[in-house]
Amino acid sequence: MAKALVERVLNEVGVKGEIVETFKGEELEGVRYVHILVEEYPAQKEFREKYEWAHRVILGEHVTLEDGTGLVHTAPGHGEEDFEIGQRYGLPVYSPLDDQGKYTEGKWKGIYVKEADPEIIEHLREKGYLVKAGEIEHKYPHCWRCKTPLIFRATDQWFLKVSKVKDKIIKENDEKVTWYPDWVKVRYDNGVMNSGDWVISRQRYWGIPLPIWQAEDGEIYVVGSFEELVKLAVAIEVNGERIDLPESYEEKLRVIEERLGPEDLHRPYVDAFIIKVNGKEMKRVKDVVDVWFDSGIASWASLDYPRNKELFEKLWPADFIVEGEDQVTKWFYSQQAASVIAFDTVPYRAVAMHGYVLDEKGDKMSKSLGNIIRPEEVVQKEGRDPFRFYMLWATNPWENLRFSWKGLEQVKRMLNILWNVYVLSATYMSLDNFDPTKLKPEELPFRKEDRWILSRVNSLVGEVTEGIETFRLTKATRAIYNFVVEDLSRWYIRLIRKRMWVEGDDPDKLAAYYTVWKVFDVLLRLMAPFTPYIAEEIYQNLLRPFTGVESVHMLDWPKADEKAIDGELEREMEYVRKIVEAGSSARQKARIKLRYPVRRIIIETEEETVKKAVERLNRLLKDQLNAKEVAVGKVERELIIKPNFAKVGPEFKGDAKLVSQWISEHGRELYEKGEVDVEIEGKTFHLTREHITVEEKLPDFLVAEEFEGGRVFVDKTLTRELLAEGVAREFVRRIQEMRKRLDLDVNDRIVVAIETTDENRELLQENLDYIMRETRAVEVRFEEARGYVVEWPEVQAKIGIEKV
């Protein structure tokens, strides 16, 4: 008995005892004991004589100190661990149970094991062998489907000796297969190393029958085809009746068809064949093949190989397979194992492993938890394209995805933005009967921003292509997402809107149209695999009339036009956007609305790229910042130096006041020298920059904001001219709002009447032409508002408009 268990066991049994000797368990190895049921089971007597290690203590590492005594009974016929250790000691695999769980011999022959238990206990008690009987709770295997307890029983099975080709599998896999993500390969290799031979037989009815025929003496023959089966057949058994077959193949076939039916390589058809090999009659082994074997041969079975060799030679091995992470040691493996056995090589060239879809909280979706979201529901509520894009965009494919409706909303928003860009462009293009095939791009006056977005979209081709090729679909979809939202909508479209409003055959406008068209030409092809429907819809309307190709899905995958890529320009634009953002922020601080122009914006920077950007993209900056001038420069500012009381106080205590006063007067000197010894009222003080705080003071008319490459200063000096322009825009904006409320057509003309303050009137008069042009007004009068009248308290005005 194990020392650690002595007390517990004695307690349980209710016996007093003491430890007389302690020694290692291994000293017991080989000690012979008498089997307690040796009389009831004659086979045990035989074992005792025939097997050296039968009924002896053996050693095993699977015995624990958690339950029992430290000694366990080993039954190699009823449990995997027992079987393995039994093999090590050369023990017989004894399993006197039939398929029903009933004893096949011995005292309890014919009785179901569980029913025999109490009888056996009673029997042992009578014989005086029983110390204690009781119940112990422990884990026990159950049927995964019907949940009934299982009884382990050693049986004869057919194996594929995969251990013989393991090294080959790993080697072939190493050399020929790319795994995405690459670390799955490690997982796979570990799995292969740990796996044993493959049990391919199953005692079922449905399935692929094992093509093995066996003679009474055990000799086997594996039949390779229906034709071979017929050739070897000497008889068939139909309804228990043996029908001997004629000699010739054709006649055999006729008899078989007549008595058994047409060719069918399933049970019970194949079971009927009795073949003759080496002069012995053989019958089929009744087992069917493990379904994992079916899956293992999928790569060629699906090509109808070996019956059809043509497809196989053309398509095999497969380029790519994809499955969930539970299949690493299952389908990915069954295919390689079967293929290496059959062809000495692996059946695919790339594997992609994906994770699962979990619910929002990260729990597995399951019926019992009631957290299942059906794909159909998602498709119906949000659409196929958003769903598809979302799945690839939300997390890396190999990671688990926490499904979130909000995430889906976000993707929808992006697609909506794309749709808006398309609608806007298409509206203006069709108004102008835009036809890209009639234009010569080399003659169009492209602006910097046009070249920029073309550069960006070509860079995007590279990003998306790389993402797809390396299975980093999240990278690809995120690159598309950012391009659509940031580059195309938020920036490019914003920049070209005014150009699109120009009437007539303006080359500047055509350049913008052409650019947008070109961007869509590339972008739609990039998006086609991710959002096939929306890509196709836009393609049909915007591109197909000019490309003539029936569908976006029939176009070639785009190649990046290296000549169009201008990294320098992209970097400069990056800065321009940052400058505009900082400028807007500065305006917000100064409370100057974007409608009011500012006199000047100064950029302070050390970076060459920023300087170049300000120079080359100046028009763009002025436009977006609504500034009369944007320039790189240096802003003079005043330094305010104050004593740092937090330092000065504790250090100089009683003299702090004196020191502070000195700093207030001579701070500049200290700041410039860095440190200084000063004598005040006979005392010397050592002062450093630590003792001061430095603030920069800008001139009152400037407001500053930092950005990554420097600082932006907005000159907020408001001249009368600037004010007049701002006010004009205020009114234009409101008249436009009214036009919209009246649902006027873009081309409708109006008459405007304004009642407002004298101040406003004078200011407005300075920009009357501008107001009329922008609002399509034939006249602006300062008189009683008529027609559609709205009062606008924010600008102290009452405006009336009438359509003419």
The packing angle between helices 507-527 and 473-482, to 10°, is 160
Nearer to RNA, 54 or 592 (CB): 592
Among 292, 398, 517, 539, binds RNA (CB under 7 A): 398
Residues 454-483 that bind RNA (CB under 7 A): 474-475, 478
Nearest approach, Cβ of 56 to RNA (angstroms)? 25
Pairing of strands 159-160, 321-324: unpaired
Per the CB < 8 A criterion, the answer to whether 544 and 550 are in contact is yes
Nearer to RNA, 55 or 330 (CB): 330
Alpha helices in 434-506 (DSSP H): 448-469, 473-482, 494-501
Pairing of strands 357-358, 401-402: parallel
Residue 401 lies near RNA (rule: CB under 7 A): yes
- What's the start-to-end Cα distance of the chain, in Å? 111
Nearer to RNA, 282 or 732 (CB): 732
Residue 295 lies near RNA (rule: CB under 7 A): no
Show the site string, 154-183: x = touches RNA by CB under 7 A, - = not.
Answer: -----------------------------x
Residue 646 lies near RNA (rule: CB under 7 A): no
Total binding residues toward RNA, as defined by CB under 7 A: 68
Among 186, 265, 680, 778, binds RNA (CB under 7 A): 186
Token representation of residue 499: 């150009």
In whole angstroms, what is the distance from residue 12 CA to residue 136 CA?
Answer: 12
Cα torsion 610, 616, 622, 625: sign: negative
Nearest approach, Cβ of 422 to RNA (angstroms)? 9
Residues 765-804 that bind RNA (CB under 7 A): 775-776
| Amino acid symbol at 245 | L
Residue 485 lies near RNA (rule: CB under 7 A): yes
Apex CA 603: angle with CA 597 and CA 606, to 5°?
170
Among 494, 599, 616, 622, binds RNA (CB under 7 A): 494
| Amino acid symbol at 528 | A
Among 406, 563, 634, 653, binds RNA (CB under 7 A): 406
Nearest approach, Cβ of 526 to RNA (angstroms)? 18
The stretch near RNA (CB under 7 A) out of 164-172, 696-704, 710-718, 744-752 is: 744-752
Residue 214 lies near RNA (rule: CB under 7 A): no
Nearer to RNA, 684 or 747 (CB): 747
Nearest approach, Cβ of 329 to RNA (angstroms)? 4
Nearest approach, Cβ of 264 to RNA (angstroms)? 33
Residues 579-608 that bind RNA (CB under 7 A): 581, 584-585, 588, 593-595
Nearer to RNA, 161 or 593 (CB): 593
The stretch near RNA (CB under 7 A) out of 214-222, 240-248, 490-498, 518-526 is: 490-498
Phi, psi of 626 (to 5 degrees): 50, 60
Residue 421 lies near RNA (rule: CB under 7 A): yes
| Amino acid symbol at 801 | I
Nearest approach, Cβ of 575 to RNA (angstroms)? 13
Whose structure tokens read 């086997």?
A: 220
Residue 737 lies near RNA (rule: CB under 7 A): yes
| Residue in 196, 197, 192 with CA at minimum distance from that of residue 158 | 197
In whole angstroms, what is the distance from residue 596 CA to residue 723 CA?
Answer: 7
In whole angstroms, what is the distance from residue 487 CA to residue 495 CA?
Answer: 11
Nearest approach, Cβ of 719 to RNA (angstroms)? 18
Among 513, 739, 753, 756, binds RNA (CB under 7 A): 739
Nearest approach, Cβ of 481 to RNA (angstroms)? 8
In whole angstroms, what is the distance from residue 127 CA to residue 112 CA?
Answer: 22
Pairing of strands 350-354, 321-324: parallel
Among 672, 708, 759, 769, binds RNA (CB under 7 A): 708
| Residue in 63, 53, 55, 74 with CA at minimum distance from that of residue 25 | 63
Among 95, 410, 547, 693, binds RNA (CB under 7 A): 410
| Residue in 545, 490, 491, 549 with CA at minimum distance from that of residue 525 | 549
In whole angstroms, what is the distance from residue 504 CA to residue 509 CA?
Answer: 9
Pairing of strands 233-238, 273-277: antiparallel
Per the CB < 8 A criterion, the answer to whether 266 and 229 are in contact is no
The packing angle between helices 448-469 and 507-527, to 10°, is 10
Which residues bind to RNA, rule: CB under 7 A?
Answer: 80, 183-184, 186-187, 190-191, 194, 325-326, 328-330, 355-356, 360-362, 364, 394-396, 398-402, 404, 406-407, 410, 413, 416-417, 420-421, 423-424, 474-475, 478, 485, 489-490, 493-494, 497, 501, 581, 584-585, 588, 593-595, 708, 729, 733, 736-737, 739-740, 744-747, 775-776
